[in-house]
Homo-oligomer: A and B are copies of this chain.
Amino acid sequence: MSATKAARERATIVDVARAAGVSRQTVSNVLNRPELVAAPTRDRVRQEIVRLGFAPNVAAQQLRRRRASAYGFEVNPSLVGKMGHILDGFLVELTTTAPGHQSHLVTFTADRDDVLAGYRQLLGTGLVDGFIVGDTRYGDPRPAWLVESGVPFVAFGRIWDLPALDQWVDVDGRAGMRTAVEHLLAEGYGSVAFLGWPVGSPAGDDRRQGWLDGLAGSTADTPSLVEESVQDLNRATCAAARLLERMGGAGAILCASDLLALGAMRAVRAAGLEPGSDIGVVGMDDSDVAEALELTSLRQPLREAAVAAWRILHGDPKGRAPALLAPTLIIRNSSTRSQEKKP
């Protein structure tokens, strides 16, 4: 379907001007600076705009304004469909809130060899003004390059390498974990162990710290209550099993991700115990798996993150500040002692 159907002529600003008996520029003013136009004129023009179904041509605006009002969003095949992948949800929330900022999003993929190629491309052709950068990691070349190039952007995830940069939004995993510990203690699980990722990942270390925060003041023997596993179900199950041995058939396991928590639930069942009534289990990210398996988890506030991202991108340069948002604890059977049985 290469040829677009015989382009039904769309009304232009000149058509509106002629119909309303004013000049081109006045119509433009009605749209962009209505306070400059006398009320009767304004109304007449607005009426004609509606009548003719006029909508300004974006390409013409972009060309003249030298601004695309569009932002690039990188999507990466390797991450999709993985548990705990929340970038899609973030993209949706960004898209939902974009019209309020007279903006839209353009998706693109990274080049295998040159991470920055896609960014250069979109910028060089003027297709976008800036970017929303997800999956920030240690050694990420993108933030530095973007700053150096003077390109507007906001990161989803702290810019770990460059603490001086404040143009990011992130979820406060640490606070979330602390909340989870408090919940588990309040439920009466006695002790709370931690199943986390190996030390060295920024988000992982942050979450672990939240667990420690929650235990602060308690007399827990923390070193014996911690196990590590990479993001793999079987490894996680084994690690959780080791943890359970030391826990003596009681307590709760707080996990750095839903996948780890899934491993924990398996280990619990393998030990002849029941998640929830015997051993509390809590995950993080509130993935579809958590929902399906009645796993208590921490939900990321993606809507708020999107709103904050736009504020940082579009807001007053002075007024902007990094946004660290607290996740919400979604309590399900895996962390409830008195199980409500299902029909």
A interface residues (Cβ-Cβ under 8 A, vs B): 1-8, 10, 53, 55-60, 62-63, 66-68, 70, 73, 75-77, 80-83, 85, 88-89, 91-93, 95-96, 98, 104-109, 121, 124-127, 129-130, 150-154, 167, 233-234, 237-238, 259, 262, 286-289, 291-292, 312-317, 320, 342-343
Query: Which residue in chain B gives the minimum CB-CB distance to A84?
Result: B288
Q: Is the CB of A80 within 8 A of B88?
A: yes
Contacts of A317 in B (CB 8 A): 1-3
> Which 9 A-B pairs have CB atoms at the shortest separation, nearest pair first?
A5-B150, A59-B62, A55-B124, A88-B88, A1-B152, A59-B63, A83-B288, A95-B107, A58-B125
Q: With the chains together, A99 CA to B108 CA distance in Å?
A: 9
Known: A108-B95, A126-B59, A234-B343. A81 touches B259 (CB 8 A): no
**B53, B59, B233, B313: which contacts A68 (Cβ < 8 A)?**
B59
Query: Which residue in chain B gives the minimum CB-CB distance to A110?
Result: B96
25 A-B residue pairings within 8 Å (CB atoms)? A1-B313, A1-B314, A1-B320, A4-B130, A8-B150, A55-B125, A59-B62, A59-B126, A60-B63, A77-B92, A77-B93, A77-B96, A80-B92, A81-B291, A83-B288, A88-B88, A95-B108, A96-B109, A237-B342, A238-B343, A259-B292, A262-B292, A288-B288, A288-B289, A289-B289
**B105, B259, B320: which contacts A107 (Cβ < 8 A)?**
B105
Q: With the chains together, A292 CA to B105 CA distance in Å?
A: 32
Give how many copies assemble into the complex.
Answer: 2
Known: A55-B125, A96-B109. A287 touches B81 (CB 8 A): yes
Query: Which residue in chain B gives the minimum CB-CB distance to A63?
Result: B59
Q: Is the CB of B109 within 8 A of A1?
A: no
Q: Is the CB of B107 within 8 A of A91?
A: yes
Distance between A49 CB and nearest chain B CB, rounded to angstroms: 12
**B4, B10, B62, B121: which contacts A124 (Cβ < 8 A)?**
B10
Q: Is the CB of B75 within 8 A of A95?
A: yes
Contacts of A67 in B (CB 8 A): 4
Contacts of A88 in B (CB 8 A): 80, 88, 91
Q: With the chains together, A128 CA to B73 CA distance in Å?
A: 17
